[in-house]
């Protein structure tokens, strides 16, 4: 059996990145990508050990932000664009955490999908 030599992961030096934040009522998911869309880092409340209803809290979101901020500063990221999606309570605390960590936030975008007409309404209830 021939073993393949593993290639060493190189540390990427990136100065600007995009943070995609999906905040639902039950969880907060954050993906840090390059402006082209290549994922550099990911984080979620479940990954940090939060379970159940605590995953959707602003405190869990701020903890995600602090762990990602440490890893992003090691990569050399200085400026951020943030795409926010969803109605959850973790949206604001993620932004505050990134600002407190010293990142320059250039763009705040809300990319929550909004229905133009939506699904068909259920039929009227007959009693």
The whole-chain average pLDDT of the chain stands at 91
36 assigned to some structural domain: yes
The total number of structural domains that make up the chain: 1
For 74-127, write each residue's pLDDT tens digit.
Answer: 999 999 999 999 999 999 999 999 999 999 999 999 999 998 998 999 999 998
Band (2; pLDDT cuts 50, 70, 90): confident
CA distance 104 to 15: 11
Strands (E), the chain: 16-23, 28-33, 39-44, 79-85, 104-110
Rounded to whole angstroms, the maximal C-alpha distance in the chain is 72
User: Domain with 47 in it: what CATH number?
Assistant: 3.30.420.80
Range of the domain at 63: 27-110
pTM for the predicted model, two decimal places:
0.83
77 assigned to some structural domain: yes
What does the chain come to in residues?
127
Neighbours of 31 (CB within 10 A): 18
CA nearest neighbour of 17 among 63, 76, 58: 76
């Amino acid at each position: 059996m021939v073993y393949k030599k593993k290639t060493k992961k190189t540390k990427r030096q990136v100065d600007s990145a995009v943070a995609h934040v999906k905040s639902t009522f039950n969880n907060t998911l954050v993906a840090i990508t390059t402006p082209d869309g290549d994922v550099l880092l990911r984080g979620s409340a479940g990954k940090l050990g939060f379970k159940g209803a605590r995953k959707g809290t602003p405190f869990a979101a701020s903890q995600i932000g602090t762990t990602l901020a440490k890893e992003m500063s090691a990569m050399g990221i200085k400026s951020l664009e943030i795409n926010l999606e969803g109605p959850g309570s973790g949206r604001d605390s993620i932004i505050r955490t990134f600002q407190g960590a010293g990142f320059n936030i250039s763009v705040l975008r809300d990319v929550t999908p909004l229905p133009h007409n939506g699904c068909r309404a259920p039929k009227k209830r007959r009693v």
